[in-house]
Amino acid sequence: MKELALHVLDIVNNSVSANAKNITIEITENTNDDYLTIEISDDGSGMDADTVSRITDPFFTSRTTRRVGLGIPLLKAAAEACNGGLSIQSTPGVGTRVKVDFQLSHIDRMPLGDLAGTMLGLVTGCPEIHWKLDYRVDEKEFHFDDEPLKRELGMDSLSEPMVISYLRGLLKDGIEDLHKN
Amino acid sequence: MDKIKSLDDLKRMREEAMKKRDATTTSGKKQVVIGMGTVGIAAGARETLKAILDLIEQENLSDVVVRQTGNVGIDSWEPVVQVMVQDQPQVNYGKVTPEVARRIIKEHLQGGKIVEEFVIPS
């Protein structure tokens, strides 16, 4: 993975597989304190303590088609290489929170990448899930919640050309504005 | 397509478009599902999905539904795209780059002709 947005995509797909109905992505960039934090929270099936303790092992997976699960271990390694780390909190029947942080200015920190494109794909591709994005860069904030759109137009509308165009513009502009002076 | 600046604008434009569209054309007749497991993402599945959404928007395709799923279990063929058209058998495509995705939309979904060279052998 060459972008953190791809790691976000990977982690949220774990949430989808865990039958989450609500997934929230929180990103914070703090230039004063030099950190970048990404938190992904869901209300999926959750994991017991034993599973949580093993999840960073690349040879542990819930899948039956192969014997490796690389998503979490790779993200953990990427964070630790940038003076950061990864933690997971989970409760069976309640949900899971994955938090990863990086030194923002670290030379090896991969870029966040195309977060707008990633969110567009998630909202249109998994319309049964309530998606929220809270992105903060120092004093600026962008909040996205797909619930108002679904309430007005219905879940079935999300693959329509006009809806894709609207969502694309909303996400792209909202995220870009955070980095404008 | 002109930029849609608000949810109210979107609602109004959508209602106008739906009035003009043939009432018998219902959404959900053609479904495209992209596998988005770890291997798929590493192989470029997000770019494949982006290409499909771009084409839907550019060509104003109102009868295509796009979905993501997790790992589909055929890692060596990622990115994998599954196509379902009305009552026809599902077609599984493998190694679907953005360019291949565009061909699938145009030749299979719009033209009715399966892109045989990228079908995963059963």
Instruction: Supply the CATH number for residue B85's domain.
Output: 3.40.30.10
Q: B91 - beta bridge partners?
A: B83
Name all domains of chain A by residue range, CATH numbers in brackets: 4-178 (3.30.565.10)
SS3 A96: strand
Residues B96 and B81 sit within 8 Å (Cβ to Cβ): yes
Binning pLDDT at 50, 70 and 90, where does residue A68 land?
A: low
Report the number of distinct structural domains present in chain B: 1
Q: Is residue B50 domain-resident?
A: yes
* pLDDT higher than 50, residue A54: yes
Q: Is residue B69 domain-resident?
A: yes
Q: Is residue B10 domain-resident?
A: no
Q: B30 - beta bridge partners?
A: B64, B85
* B58: nearest CA partner in chain A: A161
Nearest Cα neighbor of B59 from A126, A162, A168, A149 is: A162
Tokens of A14: 């774990």
Return d(Cα A63, Cα B41) in angstroms, integer. 16
pLDDT, one tens digit per residue, over A86-133 is 999 999 999 999 999 999 999 999 999 999 999 999 999 999 999 999
Return d(Cα B36, Cα B25) in angstroms, integer. 29
Q: Is residue B97 domain-resident?
A: yes
pLDDT, one tens digit per residue, over B3-16 is 788 899 898 888 88
Which value does ipTM take for this structure? 0.87
Q: Which of B38, B50, B56 is opposite residue A121, by nearest beta carbon? A: B50
Q: Is residue B99 domain-resident?
A: yes
CA B27-B30-B35 angle, to 5 degrees, is 120
Q: Does A154 touch chain B (CB under 8 A)?
A: no
* pLDDT higher than 60, residue A85: yes
pLDDT, one tens digit per residue, over B25-82 is 444 579 999 999 989 999 999 999 999 999 999 999 988 999 999 888 788 999 999 9
Q: Which of B9, B28, B70 is opposite residue A17, by nearest beta carbon? A: B70
Residue span of the structural domain in which B68 resides: 27-118
